[in-house]
Amino acid sequence: MTALRFGYGTNGLGDHRLDEALEVIAGLGYTGVALTLDRGHLDPYTSGLSRRLARTRRRLTALGLGVVVETGGRYVLDPWRKHAPTLLDGEPEGRARRLGFLRRAVGIAADLEAEAVSFWSGVPEPGMDHDEAFKHLQEGCATVVETAGLVGVRLGFEPEPGMLVADLDGYERLRHALGDPDAFGLTLDIGHCQCLEPFPPAECVRRAAPWLVNVQIEDMRRGVHEHLEFGDGEIDFPPVLAALTEVGYRGLVSVELPRHGHSGPRTAARSLDALRAASALPWTAEAVQRVRADPRSLTTLFPIAARHAGTEAGEAVRVQLLQALPGSAPERIPALERLYRQGDTAERLAVLRALAPLDRDGDLGPAALPLIADALRTNDIRLVTAAVGPYTARHLDQPAWRQAVLKCVFMNIPLDAVAGLSRRTDPELVRMFHAFAAERLAAGRPVPDDLLTQLDLHDTGERHAHL
């Protein structure tokens, strides 16, 4: 039995650039992201898409984020009509356009090594009877399934209130009509269970278990299809999350709050705290309580966390234990230093990853920078990558930060791993980049693509600044 993996939807951080949204999500302690294809974050029709996807893949890897591709962008296909056209459009051209978008999403998911592509049926056109609508949907889904099978991508079809396929009964009928293909999995929105299903959401999870590849979660009131902050609705989360653990679900459980971009980081932080509290495995919950009651117990519990929570979740559980330490943030520094100095690489990584969530409100300040400096002195790619995260971007002085970035270049660590790169890059760092590139070219050696990208972005920006 392992801990659940929590993600956050980029549609809940719509006022952030994609790189910054991913930085916030990872910095808060999430281990995954539900990435909505849209014009604001990742436009599926933009020029240079292949390069953008390669860069995004590197960024996700560097931040330790799993990814699910979501296709619910509101005006991706039509600037006038929300979520239109759909697979149920009255015109063949409209259905073909939605189908082309979904097939493109599958290709994007393959490039991103995503865990699933999530999509839904849509609402029948006025005057279209159910059988005709279902025929259009079945034909479209069959083509998407074929495309997904060719590139090894899992599909997560989402029943949605008010749409042609609104519940699990509808999903099962559609799946059977398609021939029960392995690639045609299920996206389960826990809020939709609260609104529609005649049984509790936890039972909805158990029924959905055989096909489940993606989970969306938010708080709702029964009969009200509205995305509320955690704690504002009626869903009893512990039984739902316990059911997901019970059925052995290994995919992402992603918070979907598209109407909360105005308070994105705060809402994302609150959501993760609530999910962790509601989902803690017995060992994790007991360990958190022990650390709160007796901080000295952390010395014993921290090293064995992965053994009890599982290798994949071990780092996240260790971060929870560090966050459970009582006292002010500066009072935690001695414990962080001790665990880092005495720990193996996995334990040191957990300490480094914990710095950003511990410094959520700037509480730590620069007090943990000696740990960053130690990690940057190593030649361990994992430690150096973790050391150039959000905490470092916030607190390391500019000369030392430049040297950290340059070390990433020398070690072939993708620059996408560097938090705050676009904000903190200055003329001196650009000069260092140019010098490195010139040295490489003079030696007849290739210049890393991501370094060329940074130089191109800067040079383009300089030209625009002088127009």
Residues whose CB is less than 8 angstroms from the CB of residue 188 and which lie 6 or more positions away in sequence, other chains included: 158, 204, 205, 208, 212, 214, 215, 216
Report the candidate in 448, 423, 416, 422 with the shortest Cα–Cα distance to residue 64.
416
pLDDT band (50, 70, 90) for residue 363? confident
**Contact present, 254 and 34 (Cβ < 8 Å):** yes
Q: Taking residues 365-375, what's their average pLDDT?
A: 96
Pairs from 86-93 (Cβ < 8 Å, separation ≥ 24): 86/121, 86/122, 86/123, 87/121, 87/122, 87/136, 87/137, 87/140, 87/141, 88/121, 88/122, 88/123, 88/124, 88/125, 88/128, 88/133, 88/136, 88/137, 88/164, 89/122, 89/125, 89/136, 90/125, 90/128
Hey, which bits of 73-165 come out as E strands?
117-119, 155-157
Q: Taking residues 154-183, what's their average pLDDT?
A: 95
Q: What pTM, to 2 d.p., does this model score? A: 0.81
High-pLDDT (> 90) share of the chain, %? 66
Please report the pLDDT score of residue 40 as a whole number.
87
pLDDT at 232 over 90: no
In this predicted model, what pLDDT tens digit does every residue of 237-282 receive, in sequence order? Answer: 888 898 999 999 999 999 988 887 788 899 998 888 888 888 877 8
pLDDT band (50, 70, 90) for residue 84? very high
In this predicted model, what pLDDT tens digit does every residue of 282-336 receive, in sequence order? Answer: 888 899 999 999 999 999 999 998 887 766 678 888 998 998 999 887 789 999 9
DSSP, residue by residue, 224-235: EEEEE-TTSS--
CA distance 183 to 383: 37
Distance linking the first and last C-alpha atoms of the chain = 60
Q: Taking residues 365-379, what's their average pLDDT?
A: 96
pLDDT band (50, 70, 90) for residue 145? very high
pLDDT at 3 over 80: no
Residue positions counted in the chain: 467
Please report the pLDDT score of residue 282 as a whole number.
80
Q: How far is CA 181 from CA 175, 178, 205, 411, in A?
A: 7, 7, 20, 44
Domains parsed from the chain with CATH numbers: 5-256 (3.20.20.150)
In this predicted model, what pLDDT tens digit does every residue of 395-407 receive, in sequence order? Answer: 999 999 999 999 9
Q: How far is CA 118 from CA 6, 60, 189, 282, in A?
A: 16, 18, 11, 31
pLDDT at 220 over 80: no
In this predicted model, what pLDDT tens digit does every residue of 436-463 receive, in sequence order? Answer: 999 989 999 888 887 887 887 665 544 3
pLDDT at 2 over 90: no
Q: Taking residues 68-97, what's their average pLDDT?
A: 95
pLDDT at 156 over 80: yes
pLDDT band (50, 70, 90) for residue 371? very high
- How far does Cα 317 stand from its chain's mean position? 17
Please report the pLDDT score of residue 453 as a whole number.
78
Query: Quick one: DSSP state of residue 247?
Result: T
Please report the pLDDT score of residue 466 as a whole number.
38
pLDDT at 124 over 80: yes
